[in-house]
């Protein structure tokens, strides 16, 4: 018997700590509403062949939620994400890149972490 990680782990976390987000993929102009984990204070990212580390703003989405909206992680690159839409904290970011954060049961049961650049 395998554990349903999206239902047991990710759903409760996203429902209690996630923020509303509007994702507009780079490949299309159709916005999609989702829940995201706001990590815009910054995460450590290794870059280049030397593994130089930088702190960059990010957010995470559930891979399953992308699939339910007929999106692949590669569709998001160069798109935008608006966190906290309709509130005083609303922020729009350009999606610079992404990385797959699989769960023990595979990529589709995990998360997609987006590396962001603030839109002026």
Name which residue leads in pLDDT, 13 or 29.
Answer: 13
By CB atoms closer than 10 A (0-12, 13-18, 19+), residue 63 is buried
What does the domain layout of the chain look like in residue ranges? 5-118
Torsions phi, psi for 115 (to 5 deg): -95, 130
Segment 96-116, tens digit of pLDDT: 999 999 988 888 889 999 999
Name which residue leads in pLDDT, 2 or 42.
Answer: 42
- b/e string for 92-110 if b means 16 or more Cβ within 10 A? ebbbebbeeeebeeeeebb
Name which residue leads in pLDDT, 4 or 27.
Answer: 4
pLDDT of residue 48: 79
CA distance to 41, 75, 84, 103, per residue, from 29 (Å): 27, 11, 19, 29
pLDDT of residue 105: 83
- DSSP string of 39-82, one letter each residue: EEEEEEEEETTTTEEEEEEEEEEEHHHHHHTT--HHHHTT-EEE
Segment 25-45, tens digit of pLDDT: 987 779 999 999 999 999 998
Which of 104, 7, 101 lies closest to 60 in space, CA to CA? 101
Given the candidates 3.90.1010, 3.30.420, 2.40.10, 3.40.50, the CATH classification of the domain at 5-118 is: 2.40.10
Q: Is the pLDDT of residue 72 over 90?
A: yes
């Amino acid at each position: 018997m395998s554990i349903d990680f999206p239902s047991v782990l990710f759903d409760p976390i996203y429902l209690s700590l996630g923020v509303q987000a509007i994702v507009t993929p780079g490949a299309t102009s159709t916005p999609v509403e989702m829940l995201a984990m706001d990590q815009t204070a910054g995460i450590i990212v290794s870059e280049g062949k030397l593994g130089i580390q930088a702190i960059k703003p990010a957010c995470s989405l559930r891979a399953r939620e992308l699939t339910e909206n007929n999106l692949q992680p590669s569709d998001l690159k160069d798109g935008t994400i608006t966190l906290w839409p309709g509130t005083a904290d609303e922020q729009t970011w350009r999606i610079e890149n992404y990385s797959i954060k699989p769960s023990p049961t595979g990529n589709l049961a995990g998360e997609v972490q987006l590396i962001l650049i603030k839109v002026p």
